[in-house]
Amino acid sequence: MSKVQRPPSAVRRSFRLALILAAGWALAGAGGGDNALPLPRFVSLHAPKANVRTGPGVRYPVDWVLVRKGMPVEIVAEFEHWRKIRDWQGTEGWVHQSMLSGSRTAVVMTEVRALRRSADAQAPVIARLEPGVIGRVLSCDGAWCRLDAAGFKGWIPRGEIWGVAADEKLD
């Protein structure tokens, strides 16, 4: 009959410490701890429809509904699994984190805007984007951002879109 040997006490202590650390990391990742991501920050709507509530929980009434998947929103506060968001028109409310995506998008504001071949106001126009058009943000550097809007990839001045911070650099 073979005998089972217990590991030395130092190994048992290390194993217990590893379990405690793993449990802490799991809780933090599940929203049980403080979120280390900065506020405010931009994300996008993951779901095709999301209830925006007056407070952080299902007991709060629905104030309005976002109905456009990919719409950029700005997270301005957090509480457990809930995120207080602001849309491009300044309206704020709370949504569950599962309704949001880390995918970066931007929306064209106010009037038709030119999407250019390069980050230069004199570069050829490759598309004209209507107000409300959403594009995936590919990168931003300085005064220009590179977007993929309806399959057209090009550059647009940062001030003509909403969904990236004024000083934010994206690669």
Q: What does the alpha-carbon distance between residue 86 and residue 39 come to, in Å, rounded to a whole number?
A: 12
Residue with tokens 């900065």: 38
Residues 97 and 110 in one domain: no
Q: What is the mean pLDDT of the chain?
A: 85
**Better-scored residue on pLDDT, 13 or 54:** 54
Q: Is residue 171 part of a domain?
A: no
Q: Is residue 167 part of a domain?
A: no
pLDDT exceeds cutoff 60 at 2: no
Q: What does the alpha-carbon distance between residue 138 and residue 4 come to, in Å, rounded to a whole number?
A: 57
- Residues 79-88 have pLDDT tens digits of 999 999 999 9
Q: Is residue 121 part of a domain?
A: yes
Total of domains in the chain: 3
Residue with tokens 């793993």: 22
Residue with tokens 């704020």: 92
**CATH of residue 128:** 2.30.30.40
Q: What does the alpha-carbon distance between residue 86 and residue 59 come to, in Å, rounded to a whole number?
A: 20
Structural domain of residue 26, as residue ranges?
8-34
Residues 59 and 92 in one domain: yes
User: What pLDDT is recorded for position 8?
Assistant: 56
Give 160's DSSP letter. G
- Residues 81-125 have pLDDT tens digits of 999 999 999 999 999 999 999 999 999 998 999 999 999 999 999
Residues 110 and 146 in one domain: yes
- State pTM to two decimals: 0.77
Residue with tokens 């399959």: 151
Q: What does the alpha-carbon distance between residue 47 and residue 39 come to, in Å, rounded to a whole number?
A: 22
Residues 110 and 92 in one domain: no
User: What pLDDT is recorded for position 63?
Assistant: 97
pLDDT exceeds cutoff 80 at 9: no
